[in-house]
């Protein structure tokens, strides 16, 4: 079995360590844990991993968030995968900081990366890990919050939370979506 793990984020140093780039951070941690490395390929930075006999293909689209679907569609076709073999890593304002929710499908909920993926794949029925970034921002400051850097308290908590997310990805590859949801959505 093979899976395509897609960490969503924006390219460029100005977006490093921002809430919106948590998908990139989780993808980086997964690849690092398994001694892999990214190479710049068409539409994405790409790494191939073998995790307990499972083939994981990991991408970080270099198309910017709003065009993430272009990279996802290309790599799905390149690797000959079905949507059920995708696992999108995405930030979510509607979830408290540090909590994750794994879903088999769902709307884009206003997230431009998911909106692009939904449009180009013509479906919203693909697995995703939604990483809570919270919504601790003043009215009218959502963009600044999402594109902002983690505060000190969040920064201290992130390594453990990212490790937890990496374990959820490994579980998805090993035991499938349903069992992964049953285990990780209750914590």
- What's the token pair of residue 74? 């290309």
Whether residue 165 contacts residue 43, with contact meaning beta carbons closer than 8 Å, is answered with no
Catalytic member of 20, 34, 57, 111: 20
Q: Where are the alpha helices (DSSP H) in 34-151?
A: 68-79, 112-121, 142-146
**Alpha-carbon gap, residue 29 to 7, rounded angstroms:** 11
Strands (DSSP E) found in 36-121: 39-41, 44-51, 54-61, 86-92, 100-103
Q: What are phi and psi of 102, to 5 degrees?
A: -105, 130
- What's the token pair of residue 159? 């390594």
- Residue 164 annotated as catalytic: no
**Exposure of 93 in the CB half-sphere (CA atoms within 13 A):** 17
Residues marked active site are found at 20
């Amino acid at each position: 079995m093979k899976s395509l793990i897609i960490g969503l984020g924006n390219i460029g140093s100005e977006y490093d360590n921002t809430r919106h780039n948590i998908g990139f951070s989780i993808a980086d941690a997964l690849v690092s844990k398994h001694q892999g490395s990214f190479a710049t390929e068409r539409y994405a930075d790409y790494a191939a991993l073998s995790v307990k006999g499972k083939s994981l293909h990991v991408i970080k689209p270099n198309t910017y968030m709003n065009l993430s679907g272009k990279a996802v569609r290309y790599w799905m076709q390149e690797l000959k995968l079905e949507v059920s073999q995708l696992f999108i890593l995405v930030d979510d304002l509607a979830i408290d900081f540090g909590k994750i929710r794994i879903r088999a499908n769902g709307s884009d909920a206003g997230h431009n990366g998911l909106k692009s993926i939904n449009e180009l794949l013509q479906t919203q029925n693909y697995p995703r890990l939604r990483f809570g970034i919270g919504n601790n921002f003043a009215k009218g400051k959502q963009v600044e919050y999402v594109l902002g850097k983690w505060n000190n308290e969040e920064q201290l908590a992130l390594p453990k939370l990212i490790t937890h997310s990496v374990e959820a990805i490994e579980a998805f590859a090993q035991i499938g979506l349903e069992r992964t949801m049953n285990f990780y959505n209750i914590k």
